[in-house]
Amino acid sequence: MDIVQQAPILMILCPFLGAFAVSLAGLIQRRWCYPLTVLFTAGSAYAGLGTLIQVLRTEGGVIRYRMGGWEPPFGIEFRLDALNAAIALMVVVVALLVAIYSRQTVASETAGKEGHFYTLFLLLTVGVLGISMTGDAFNLYVFLEISSLSSYALIAMGRGRAAFSCFNYIIMGTIGASFYLLGVGYLYIKTGSLNMTDIARILQEHGLYSSNSVRIGFLFILIGVWIKMAFVPLHRWLPNAYTFAPSTTSCLVAPLMTKVSIYVMIRIMFSVFNPEFVFGVGPRSDLVVWLAVIAMMVGSFYALAKNKLKMMLAYLVIAEVGYMVGGAWLANATGLTGAIFHILADGLMTLALFLAAGAIYYKRKSYNIVATKGLFGKMPFTMGAFAIAALSMIGIPPTCGFFSKWYLISGGIEAGHWGFVVGLLTSSMVNAVLFFRILERAYFEKPELPYEPGRQGKNALNFVERKGVDEAPLTMLAPLWAASLGLVLLGVYSGVVIDFISRYVNSVGFQ
């Protein structure tokens, strides 16, 4: 048996088997949970790299892994092409970096629950990977629920309002999953198949695009996925859920859940259906793009009003969702290329920013933006990585944020949708204000010590300055810098990334 050929299934089996191993370790010796989690996520990342190489070397750029050798549509298959091979690799890289990063934050924020936490961590990785790789519409729902249930439990482990925020997330997540499942049911009624490739073939060969059942099914799936990705106006569950979750949970959930949901939307739009149907008989594309513009404005300006770093970043996730949804619905290849590139770029940007926020909280015991004063002197490596991620979020070259936004703006110009172009530029300018405000405080203002319980008054942060550098541990800095340098590398080699993405975009069939 060629181990390389088994890379797609090994990518999921590593965290799946790891969840069992970590669960047992949690009962026997909790200190084993962390190294086991890193080991199994590293195995998954290695398999992910092998899968991407396999896609590159395969004629046609598509590999199919059939469970048990059963032929679809009767059997379940993983189908990997240029779109989801890159997404799956992003997922395992994010999971590995967060796993390495998590040692101190899990020990301090969820002490005594390491076994439960890391088991759920690995199960969430399994679910998100399954969503990225499966070629079966119902199997996608199963993996969607695995990832959702895991994320609910991980968020609920937080303090303060975490339980209530998690409850809101559960309600909205359940509604979203129900809409998706109803939509798949409508498609199954008309096609008799759950395999995505087979559904697309039947819809085309039997001329079912004009069927009301197919249209309703598409709309139900779309609404369900929009809820899952927190697309405005279905976004209210996200800010509190991401803010009150434990630091490691936010670092894993924020870069992955919304991005993978956007991937699902793109996969349904262009692999199950086609541009003629989506932009012809589906929702009016210009209406969706205007909703995306509103999402950019809502996310950016709400972020501007927040004085908590983590809450600010959570609202920026909502704005970024607007970028990617708008790009996909511009109805041209340039916009779709920008949307897919931005999924990868924003995954790393969001990861780096939340990793930095967690490191700041670990040392300063506060998410208040006031606590960032003087941090370039106290935490120079953390703030240096934060600055790179901030520049990418604004869209400054040579970071990848510039190149993904370039394609999104070019797609907007090509589509003649100047509202999208102005909205994206305005949102980027607001990002500049947000991050330069923080960087200015961190560089020019006097540092302040962390909040101490029992200290009263509104000046509770103003203590006598500690001497010297007070940096985060190496296990937190290494993943943070890996993510930040990844933003630069992804920008420098943006041409290679675009060429790879174009393999999928060219197959979509834009006129």
C-alpha angle 364-366-371 in degrees, rounded to nearest 5? 70
C-alpha angle 388-255-46 in degrees, rounded to nearest 5? 90
Distance of alpha carbon 231 from the chain centroid: 13
pLDDT of residue 458: 44
Residue-level pLDDT, tens digit, the chain, 511 residues: 456 678 888 899 999 999 999 999 888 888 888 999 999 999 999 998 988 888 888 777 788 877 766 777 677 788 888 888 889 999 999 999 999 999 988 888 887 788 889 999 999 999 999 999 988 889 999 999 999 999 999 998 877 788 888 888 899 999 999 999 999 999 999 888 888 888 988 988 888 888 888 899 999 999 999 999 989 888 888 888 888 888 899 999 999 998 999 999 999 999 888 888 888 765 577 889 999 999 999 999 999 888 888 899 999 999 999 999 999 999 888 999 999 999 999 999 999 999 999 999 888 887 888 888 888 888 889 999 999 999 999 999 899 989 999 999 999 999 888 999 999 999 999 999 999 988 988 888 776 555 444 444 444 444 334 566 778 889 999 999 999 999 999 999 988 999 888 888 888 776 5
pLDDT of residue 68: 67
| CB count in 10 Å sphere of residue 511 | 7
| CB count in 10 Å sphere of residue 305 | 9
Q: Which long-range contacts (CB under 8 A, 24 or more apart) does 166-169 make?
A: 166/241, 168/236, 168/237, 168/240, 168/241, 169/237, 169/238, 169/241
Q: Which residues of 411-443 are buried (b: 16+ CB within 10 A; e: fewer)?
A: bbbebebeebbebbeebbebbbebbeebbebbe
pLDDT of residue 185: 93
- Sign of the torsion formed by the C-alpha atoms of 145, 146, 151 and 153: positive
From the list 174, 177, 156, the residue with the least C-alpha distance to 246 is: 156
Note whether 172 and 237 are within 8 A (CB): yes
8-state DSSP, 159:
S
- The residue whose two tokens read 């989801």 is 84
Two tokens, residue 172 = 């909205």
From the list 258, 369, 357, the residue with the least C-alpha distance to 317 is: 258
Strand ranges (E), 249-303: none
Name the helix (H) or strand (E) containing 78.
strand 77-80
- The residue whose two tokens read 């359940």 is 174
| CB count in 10 Å sphere of residue 103 | 18
